[in-house]
Structure 1
Amino acid sequence: MPKKVFIKTLSKTDIDYRMTIPMDSLSAFQIPEGKYSRAVVAFDITGRPWSFRCSTRKKDPRPKPVLSSGWIRFVKDRCLKEGDEVIFSVAHNDGAEGPQFRIEARKKLAKLFGQDIWSNPL
């Protein structure tokens, strides 16, 4: 069963350049010690793989992790906008090498009686 790594409401920077990852979620991406990035493949709800680069700052005490290299392609494919959400989850399969990531996106459709109304996962 996949475990949620994070749910992120997308900002303008997330839409235009790269997606910042919540710092408390960085350990799920298992960047090797002494390295500052690693390739990450996440599967969408249709099973399509999406390749991203998860990286941190090299010379900063606050690593500020981001997803790039492929991220903007995912944003454009899903027609995501500021305020939409991305959900990253991970499953640790016994037979697989390392964690298997999943990615879902939801579009904010409206607000009704103070509650956000979301699309089905994209």
Structure 2
Amino acid sequence: MSVNMPKHLFEKKLSKTDIENRMSVPMKSLDAFRIPKGEHSKDFGVTDIHGKRWRFRYSTRKSDRHPKPVLSSGWIEFAKKRGLKVGDEVTFSVVGMKGAEDLELGIQARKKIKLFGEVFWSNPL
């Protein structure tokens, strides 16, 4: 698979749980993270728009028909460093391939700003 332009993987409006504990991830992205068979988690790297690398852990429930994927380790640090709050958004994109099996991912965050009753979005963080 060759990826020339970033391909949108998912976008998420952040909840209180996403900011304080772990970020739930849409089920439709499960295949992109390619957790090895028999495992329930995988550490992976993402690159933000400033070129900084971050390490997150993607995990699913160990034994359940509904895997309910989440980002845990590393995610809260990213959210805090970016000053993310409930209602802000993050976008994950596929920016390339790393080896034959792993996707290279990018992340962007935008802050929701209310001003005089209007909603505006910050430039990507």
Count of paired positions = 119
Stretches of structure 1 lacking an aligned partner (at least 5 in a row): none
Question: TM-score under structure 2 normalisation?
Answer: 0.89
Structure 2 Cα separation of the partners of residues 24 and 30 of structure 1: 12
Partner of 1:62: 66
The unaligned stretches of length 5 or more in structure 2 are none
Match of 1:76 in 2: 80
Partner residue in 2 for 1:33: 37
Q: Which deviations, in whole Å up to 9, do the C-alpha atoms of 1:58-88 show, x marking residues without a partner?
A: 0111000000101110010000000000000
Displacement, 1:91? 2.3
Separation of aligned partners in 2, 1:87 and 1:80: 13
Identity %: 55
User: Superposition pairs for residues 85-100 of structure 1, below 5 Å?
Assistant: 85-93=89-97, 96-97=98-99, 98-100=102-104
Q: CA RMSD in A?
A: 1.5
- Structure 1 stretches of at least 4 aligned residues deviating more than 6 Å after TM superposition: 111-114
